[in-house]
Structure 1
Amino acid sequence: MGSMDEREAREVKAQVGDYVRELARHRVHAADVHAAAVPLALGLAPLADGGYGVAVRYRLGLPAVRSIARKVAEQVGPAADVRRTGRIRTLATPGGPAVTPRPPVVTARSLGETGRVRPLRPGVSIAHAKVSAGTLGAFVVVDGRMHALSNYHVLSGTPSAAMGDPILQPGPADGGRTARDKVGELAGRVELEPHGRATVDCAIALLDDPEVDLRYPVGPVTTTAVAVGNEEVAKVGRTTSVTHGRVTAIELDDVVVGYGEELGEIAFDGQIEVESTGGSAFSRGGDSGSLVYREDGVALGLLFAGSETGSENGSGLTYLNPIDAVLDALGATLAT
């Protein structure tokens, strides 16, 4: 089976998905997999000729899943894009608050991803007062008021977080403290169910000061688009700053992401995958919440997770929620 158009690739993906679920009933239970899905993701892989293949992503270390991936590749043939991802995890900074001196206020645009930045801008450290640190991805408007957008696991962290909880910039892991660095309050989130299924990992904070700097390295990002594959993309994040990559898969279902003890592993559907086009990783811990945009400044997705392996340069793969799904779920629009 060679390159397909988008419709054909979706049909093959659906057929293969049924096959995977049938095989999994017999083979995966013994692999001690507790998520709501088999850790084998299927999506559409853009090919060099403009057509599509079937993206097959599986976790290292699970022989039953590796065997299923091999059988799927045999079924699909040359149009199968098979990659071993290793574990996929959220990309907030691990660990609790660091004991550090108060960071200086930073205004230079090339500096300060982990420092205290005023006015607020995309790409800086931010988090709930009881979370370590992630990235302020974008500014959005909800009910006519300015909010900061990031991930659930950055701005909320756990189901026990309450609306109105303080949001700090920088995040606690970067020296943020409630008394001096509060910039807003948790104002909305899309709930995540332990060991459940989801489409988005997102939350918003109502800002104390609505005067913000909307600019990214490419200028303001005020429009969105649906990813079709092979787009050249970039992001600015708390940890790795500005990085560049390429969309390597779209419409990925059953992307199983580790969230730690309280939420366990959650299976995400309809996701976007990016690999770095540079010599280093597209994202690392602390980059969760970054907005990923095309090189022409159109937003495609909200970064939330990454894998250990799977990219051509060996630095792992990055996973995004489609930005339109995020905004729709929150009732938000990008600020202009």
Structure 2
Amino acid sequence: MDHDEARQAKTHALGLARELVERHVRPAGLDDRPTVPLALGLAPRPDGGYALAVRYRLGVPQVRALARRVAADAGPDVDVRRTGRVRPLASGTPQLAGDPGPRPRPPVITARAVGETGRVRPLRPGVSIAHVDVTAGTLGAFVTVGGVVHALSNHHVLAGAPGAQVGDLVLQPGPADGGTARDDRVGTLAASVPLRPGVTAHVDAALALLDTPDVDPTYPLGRVTTTAAALGGETVVKTGRTTGTTRGRVTAIELDDVVVGYGDELGDIRFDDQVEVEGLGPDPFSRGGDSGSLVLREDGVALGLLFAGSETGGENGRGLTYVNPVDAVLTALDATLLG
């Protein structure tokens, strides 16, 4: 299928899935209306065309049968994968003893991270960063808003909780990596795209206003000034706080109904128009603490902002990574990559 045909197939599959859900499956969690427990998008084919991407997670009644029915209706041009539960790749306030509620996936402990978990000055992409009450995520890139330099990362890294306020402290390294308000302040929360229970989202993004514009935007792959939409099949690279520099491949684009578990305060939030990446080789493309990493093509063009990952899936079985399209992120924050 070409791009337009694949989009039409996706629209048809979504209609079929909703019809089947109305009849048989009524998953709870996002809102009162029945929701489709499948993520549907476009999967690239080696010939340059597309297949229908069908993603499902266990734990929802009859979801496997639903995925099979949708796939059978789509015919041979379909790519079906089980993802497991999808979570943000950094956590908010550490879970307290006796609190059994689910939480976003916490960052890998400092001693086992291969990325930049220590104090780094001048600031550069790929280092540990976080809101003063969050554990740790990744500084993805530097951007300008009104000519002023800011750090770009995820909402759940730089804000963390619905109660976060503009002006809250941002630390480098993040608290999970030993950062303290007294010694490691690098800026303050300047803006974030709200995440609201029951409201479909498109980006998980926020900005920190830096205390000093003295930054190194050339690390690790050179200055990033150009963006593009992912078309599928690209080899990509990211540098994150936990796994360092890793390579992956774009395995799906325009994924709708990607359900991400944010824990007790926000619950499950549905994202539309997302990009999926699998790791190349035996290791995952990302792990807990890599949230906020900028995902680039091999030629240095930015494609997206990493924000979540699944427990399983991908050719190596080590999980899939989910990425907000970078242009949607920059538009939502009225920001421009630092030139």
Q: Give the TM-score of the pair, scaled to structure 2.
A: 0.92
Alignment-derived partner of residue 186 in structure 2: 183
Displacement of 1:93 in angstroms is 4.8
Q: Name the CA distance, whole Å, in 2 between partners of 1:145 and 1:230.
A: 35
Q: Is 2:186–2:210's contact at 8 Å kept on the other side of the alignment?
A: yes
Give the AA of the match of 2:55: R
Alignment-derived partner of residue 94 in structure 2: 96
Alignment-derived partner of residue 25 in structure 1: 22
Q: Name the CA distance, whole Å, in 2 between partners of 1:127 and 1:39.
A: 32
Give the AA of the match of 2:326: I
Matches of residues 266-285 of structure 1 in structure 2 within 5 Å? 266-285=269-288
1:221 equivalent to 2:224? Answer: yes
Displacement of 1:127 in angstroms is 0.4
Q: Name the CA distance, whole Å, in 1 between partners of 2:115 and 2:303.
A: 25
Give the AA of the match of 2:150: H
1:177-227 residue CA offsets vs partner (Å, 9 max, x unmatched): 001100000000111111321000000000001010002332111110000
Question: What secondary structure sits across from 1:180 in the alignment?
Answer: coil
1:53 equivalent to 2:31? Answer: no
1:87 equivalent to 2:82? Answer: no
- The percentage of aligned residue pairs carrying the same residue is 66
Q: Is 2:115–2:242's contact at 8 Å kept on the other side of the alignment?
A: no
Displacement of 1:163 in angstroms is 0.3
Q: Name the CA distance, whole Å, in 1 between partners of 2:142 and 2:73.
A: 44
Q: Name the CA distance, whole Å, in 1 between partners of 2:286 and 2:38.
A: 22
Consecutive unaligned residues of structure 1, counting only runs of 5 or more, are 98-102, 104-110
Alignment-derived partner of residue 71 in structure 1: 69
Q: Name the CA distance, whole Å, in 1 between partners of 2:36 and 2:7.
A: 19
Give the AA of the match of 1:197: T
Alignment-derived partner of residue 237 in structure 2: 234
Alignment-derived partner of residue 310 in structure 2: 307
Matches of residues 7-46 of structure 1 in structure 2 within 5 Å? 7-29=4-26, 31=27, 33-36=28-31, 37-46=35-44
1:335 equivalent to 2:338? Answer: yes
Q: Name the CA distance, whole Å, in 2 between partners of 1:282 and 1:41.
A: 20
Alignment-derived partner of residue 107 in structure 1: none
Matches of residues 244-255 of structure 1 in structure 2 within 5 Å? 244-255=247-258
Q: Name the CA distance, whole Å, in 2 between partners of 1:56 and 1:47.
A: 14
Question: What secondary structure sits across from 2:183 in the alignment?
Answer: helix
Q: Is 1:131–1:172's contact at 8 Å kept on the other side of the alignment?
A: yes
Q: Name the CA distance, whole Å, in 1 between partners of 2:266 and 2:150.
A: 26
Q: Is 2:91–2:160's contact at 8 Å kept on the other side of the alignment?
A: no
Q: Is 1:168–1:184's contact at 8 Å kept on the other side of the alignment?
A: yes
Question: What secondary structure sits across from 1:66 in the alignment?
Answer: helix
1:157 equivalent to 2:160? Answer: yes
Give the AA of the match of 1:11: Q
Give the AA of the match of 1:84: R
Q: Name the CA distance, whole Å, in 2 between partners of 1:121 and 1:26.
A: 52
Displacement of 1:66 in angstroms is 1.2
Alignment-derived partner of residue 322 in structure 2: 319
Q: Name the CA distance, whole Å, in 2 between partners of 1:272 and 1:112.
A: 23
Q: Name the CA distance, whole Å, in 2 between partners of 1:316 and 1:77.
A: 26
Aligned residues: 319
Q: Name the CA distance, whole Å, in 1 between partners of 2:45 and 2:219.
A: 30
Q: Is 1:155–1:205's contact at 8 Å kept on the other side of the alignment?
A: yes
Q: Is 1:216–1:236's contact at 8 Å kept on the other side of the alignment?
A: no
1:27-73 residue CA offsets vs partner (Å, 9 max, x unmatched): 222x4x31254331000000011100000000023242111100011
Calculate the aligned-residue CA RMSD, in Å.
1.5
Alignment-derived partner of residue 207 in structure 1: 210
Structure with bigger strand share is 1
Consecutive unaligned residues of structure 2, counting only runs of 5 or more, are 96-109
- Check 1:95–1:188 CA distance in 2 against 1; reply closer, same or farther (3 A cut): closer
